[in-house]
């Protein structure tokens, strides 16, 4: 990534695009004296000479030397131009190579970088305007309409803007007392920062936060289609095409987060929420963590049935743990229950460690779905689909997704399998009913409670 950032032509590219470029680059060893024309972007290991033919029968003219960390050939990625120089290795060198087809496929060509920059500027302006709107709001600008969910942390309420009643939001209300008692300050802070920066149609937006003496508040996008878990519970299981749509929504969310160096670590039907169109979005970033690229983390977390073997064995884990959980989600959506479960977490972990091949797949799971689940749930993270050389593309190109309209999904033109009935911006009928909160926490009067949020 650092190397790609050093190439001037690539500087306008986003982190996400650079990360995709890094994924498709291949390491190639070049032998001594191997003429290689200027058509590859490379990272030479040792000395490389650049020469130019002055005329047909004369000796080539020495132009310069390249060393580790230099590059050549980025111009050739632009078009079918004739090479103007020779690049000759003085000894065996290792190059990182990207071919024109891969480059075109990923970012279309360097001419498109300028238009990408224009789109980025447009998006930036949109988010800045949004920011200005939300930063002017105060807590008492909202009315509470109804409760959308309850957890150990607190509650999620549907709130309405008093000045504009058609504008409703989900307000997550967290008890400071509980956060401090369970030492969750870091997790909460991480959740805030990750969600604030996540601008994806497949991740629930966090617009801003507030706090008072007892609570922290997170003002989020309201998705009134309800939890995927509720629909799964009521229907028992989903058919192949329905599961494919929701799985694809998660694949898009993961591709976006992973390109930002973020692991999610809490995939389950309860954390997928439908917007009023019926598109699924990932919510609840309490376990998410920015680890960067090619790095591991060792925190033990997740829902027992969804935890990857390397987390249980404390071997360190990375984004590949998310792809394991994607396989588990597919199985649960297709059958109504996850493949690994036990009467208590320890027993569940033991079943997980025995592996996916010990699980009997019900007949209703198609051959292609079964194949994808098994490829996502490989014990060895380095063999897992989504974590191989082509990254998430391997999942998108799997036979189970054959004919699936990824472009339509990204653009929001694909018809969802289930369209929730949402009568108005204040309709909470797709959520279960919850009793009122009577447990009043004490005010913020203990040192360390008023943490930065």
DSSP string, 239-295: -HHHHHHHHHHHHHHHHHHHHTTEE----SGGGEEE-TTS-EEE---TT-EE--SS-
Chain segment 232-291, per-residue pLDDT in tens? 999 999 999 999 999 999 999 999 999 999 999 999 999 999 999 999 999 999 899 998
203-207, 254-258, 405-409, 433-437: range with lowest mean pLDDT: 433-437
Residue 115 has pLDDT above 50, yes or no: no
Do 253 and 196 share a domain, yes or no?
no
Q: Write out the binding residues for ATP.
A: 172
Last residue of a domain, which of 194, 221, 248?
221
Could you tell me if 194 and 73 lie in one domain? no
**In this predicted structure, what is the pLDDT of residue 412?**
96
Integer Cα distance of 366 and 149 in angstroms = 34
Whether residue 279 is found in the same domain as residue 350: yes
Residue 447 has pLDDT above 90, yes or no: no
Last residue of one domain, picked from the residues 200, 221, 242:
221
Give residue 215's pLDDT.
Answer: 93
Domain identity same for 212 and 234: no
Residue 159 forms part of a structural domain: yes
Residues 216 and 100 in one domain: no
Q: How many CB atoms lie within 10 A of CB 264?
A: 24
pLDDT exceeds 50 at position 40: no
Give the pair of three-digit tokens for residue 421. 């009935």
Task: Specify the number of domains making up the chain.
Answer: 3
Q: Is 266 a catalytic residue?
A: yes
Q: 81 with 117, same domain?
A: no
**Is the same domain home to 240 and 169?**
no
Does the residue 100 lie in any domain? Answer: yes
H or E element in which residue 62 lies: strand 61-66
Same domain, 233 and 356: yes
Residues 269 and 355 in one domain: yes
82 and 217 in a single domain? The answer is no
Residue 134: give its domain's CATH number. Answer: 3.30.200.20
Residues 48 and 33 in one domain: yes
Q: Is residue 175 within 8 Å of 215, Cβ to Cβ?
A: yes
Domain containing residue 123: 112-221
In a domain, 201, yes or no: yes
Judge whether residue 99 has pLDDT over 80.
no
List binding-site positions. Answer: 172
Among 266, 275, 284, 318, which one carries the catalytic annotation? 266
pLDDT band at residue 69 using 50, 70 and 90 as cut-offs: confident
Q: Tell me which of 37 and 206 has the higher pLDDT.
A: 206
pLDDT tens for residues 398-422? 999 999 999 999 999 999 999 999 9
Q: Is pLDDT at 136 greater than 60 in this prediction?
A: yes
Q: Supply the pLDDT for residue 184.
A: 87
Mean pLDDT of 17-23: 75
Last residue of a domain, one of 81, 107, 133: 107
* Same domain flag for 317 and 355: yes
């Amino acid at each position: 990534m650092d190397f790609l950032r050093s190439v001037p032509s690539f500087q306008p590219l986003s982190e996400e695009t650079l990360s995709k470029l890094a994924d498709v680059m291949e390491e190639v060893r070049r032998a001594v004296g191997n003429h290689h024309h200027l058509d590859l972007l490379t990272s030479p290991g040792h000395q490389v000479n650049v020469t130019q033919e002055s005329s047909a029968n004369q000796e080539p003219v020495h132009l310069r030397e390249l060393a580790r960390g230099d590059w050549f050939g980025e111009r050739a990625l632009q078009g079918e131009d004739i090479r103007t120089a020779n690049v000759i290795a003085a000894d065996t060198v290792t190059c990182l190579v990207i071919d024109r087809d891969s480059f075109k496929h990923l970012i279309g060509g360097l001419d498109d970088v300028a238009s990408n920059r224009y789109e980025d500027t447009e998006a930036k302006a949109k988010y800045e305007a949004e920011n200005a709107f939300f930063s002017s709001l105060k807590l008492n600008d909202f009315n509470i309409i109804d409760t959308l969910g309850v957890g150990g942390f607190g509650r999620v309420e549907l709130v309405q803007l008093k000045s504009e009643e058609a504008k409703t939001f989900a307000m997550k209300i967290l008890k400071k007392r509980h956060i401090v008692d369970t030492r969750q300050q870091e997790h909460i802070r991480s959740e805030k920062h990750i969600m604030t920066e996540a601008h994806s149609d497949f991740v629930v937006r966090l617009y801003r936060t507030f706090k008072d003496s007892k609570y922290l508040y997170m003002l989020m996008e309201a998705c009134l289609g309800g939890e995927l878990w509720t629909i799964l519970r009521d229907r028992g299981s989903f058919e192949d095409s329905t599961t494919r749509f929701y799985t694809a929504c998660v694949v898009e969310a993961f591709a976006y987060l992973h390109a930002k160096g973020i692991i999610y670590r809490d995939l389950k039907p309860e954390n997928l929420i439908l917007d009023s169109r019926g598109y699924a979005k990932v919510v609840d970033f309490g376990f998410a963590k920015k680890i960067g690229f090619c790095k591991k983390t060792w925190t033990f977390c997740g829902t027992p049935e969804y935890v990857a073997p390397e987390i249980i064995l404390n071997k360190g884990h990375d984004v590949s743990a998310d792809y394991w959980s994607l396989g588990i989600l597919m199985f649960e959506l297709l059958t109504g229950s996850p493949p690994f479960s036990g009467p208590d977490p320890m027993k569940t972990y033991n079943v997980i460690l025995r592996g996916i091949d010990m699980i009997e797949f019900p007949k209703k799971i198609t051959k292609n779905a079964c194949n994808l689940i098994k490829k996502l749930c490989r014990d060895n993270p380095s063999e897992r689909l989504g974590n191989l050389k082509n990254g998430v593309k391997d999942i998108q190109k799997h036979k189970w997704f054959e004919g699936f309209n990824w472009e339509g999904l990204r653009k929001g033109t694909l018809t969802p399998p289930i369209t929730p009935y949402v009568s108005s911006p204040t309709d909470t009928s797709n959520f279960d009913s919850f009793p009122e909160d009577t447990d009043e926490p004490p005010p913020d009067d203990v040192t360390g409670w008023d943490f930065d949020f």
